[in-house]
Amino acid sequence: MELVRNHSSIWQKLEDIKDRYTELEASLANPSILSNPEKYQRYAKEHAELSKIVQVYEEYRRLERELQQNKELLKDKDEEIRVLAKAEIAEIKKKMEELNKTLKILLLPKDPNDERNVVLEIRAGTGGEEAALFATDLFKMYTKYAESRGWNVEILSSHFTGIGGIKEIIVLIEGKGAYSRLKYESGVHRVQRVPITESQGRIHTSAVTVAILPEAEEIDVDIDPKDLKVEVFRASGPGGQHVNVTDSAVRITHVPTGIVVQCQDERSQHKNKAKAMKILRSRLLDIKQREQEQKIAEQRKTQIGTGDRSERIRTYNFPQNRLTDHRIDLTLYQLEEILAGDLDKVIEPLITHFQAEAIKSANL
């Protein structure tokens, strides 16, 4: 990996960031800025965003000076000092290499959605009841992972089968950086195991589709009420008995795109409509962003992978206790722990891989 010191444009960018950081520090102490809450907040936010880069950059510069000092000591007449200097140089170079990687990651363009909440959609695919049961397993996995990170999980819409499987479930996961951690989960998740409905003990292959959408705010998507067809009806199906005496279920059709969203989990028609609108906004934002990304397809590849929901991204093999992520050739024999919510075992290597790809593409 090329060192940032040897890349003049990167080095200049780091110097510019440091200058801007120093300028912001002075501004934040300026009485005229302190008396302007809006401007102060804007400057404070930018200052905080640059803080990590400047901190790492200054440590890198300090190690550079230390390295030079130790190189001078290699000329010392005392052999013991030369040996110590050589060992110190090796240690400093190792630290500088780590900081070099960190700086390149910090300089990558930020995904504007990274800090957003997530709308997670899980749908049973091929495999009938077995696919629906595995959809339940995935829902539990994501729920446990969210809980381990202190995130909140709220079911927006659900459709269960008679024996506890999930045909479709849509949930909102609220938490700092939720999208940045979960954005690589979109795609087809394949399961290989003996279904509980299989009497011959044969292994079946089924599939579940996962979609990760950044939660959209009202300001992100302009929805004309005239474009909406809103229908109310009585809830039905497993779990719906307590609400099916009134027309509380809501179906919203966005006429221009043909997107249909249906919610019936709440007793209140108002609450179901609010949840349906939340899902609709996130789907429309997803379409809007995908259209933008198609215009810069090459950049998109480096930022968030393909994100294609028809792409088979992962296989969960129960007989071998094995998980394989096909995008990065990652194989782990810890399926039980991962399904219990220890998803960072997969997420961390994915983040590392896509960051490395982005660095390569950005020529950093």
Each residue's pLDDT expressed in tens, for the chain with a length of 364 residues: 566 677 778 888 899 999 999 999 999 999 998 888 888 998 998 899 899 999 999 999 999 999 999 999 998 888 899 999 999 999 999 999 999 988 988 888 888 888 889 999 999 988 888 999 999 999 999 999 999 999 999 998 888 887 889 999 999 999 988 999 999 999 999 999 988 777 677 888 999 999 999 888 777 788 888 888 888 887 765 544 444 556 788 888 998 889 899 888 788 888 888 888 889 888 888 888 877 767 645 443 443 344 445 678 999 999 999 999 999 999 999 999 999 999 999 999 999 998 888 888 777 6
Same domain, 323 and 209: yes
Q: What is the DSSP string of 2-33?
A: --GGG-HHHHHHHHHHHHHHHHHHHHHT-HHH
Same domain, 244 and 279: yes
Same domain, 168 and 190: yes
24: which residues sit within 8 A by CB, 6+ positions away?
A: 43, 46, 47, 50
Domain closes at, from 274, 292, 310: 292
Same domain, 55 and 190: no
Q: Is residue 196 part of a domain?
A: yes
- For residue 47, what is the domain's CATH number? 1.20.58
- Residue 135: other Cβ atoms inside 10 A: 29
Range of the domain at 345: 118-219+299-361
Same domain, 197 and 236: no
Same domain, 42 and 89: yes
Domain closes at, from 292, 307, 331: 292
Looking up tokens 């939720």, which residue turns up?
Answer: 178
Q: Is residue 51 part of a domain?
A: yes
- For residue 149, what is the domain's CATH number? 3.30.70.1660
Q: What whole-number distance in Å separates Cα of residue 168 and Cα of residue 154? A: 15
The structure's pTM equals 0.73
Contact 157, 170 (CB under 8 A): yes
- Which residues is 171 bridged to in the sheet? 120, 155
Same domain, 277 and 167: no
Q: Is residue 112 part of a domain?
A: no
The count of domains in the chain is: 3
Domain closes at, from 52, 78, 106: 106
Q: What does each C-alpha distance from 277 to 180, 213, 255 come to in angstroms?
A: 23, 14, 14
- For residue 270, what is the domain's CATH number? 3.30.160.20
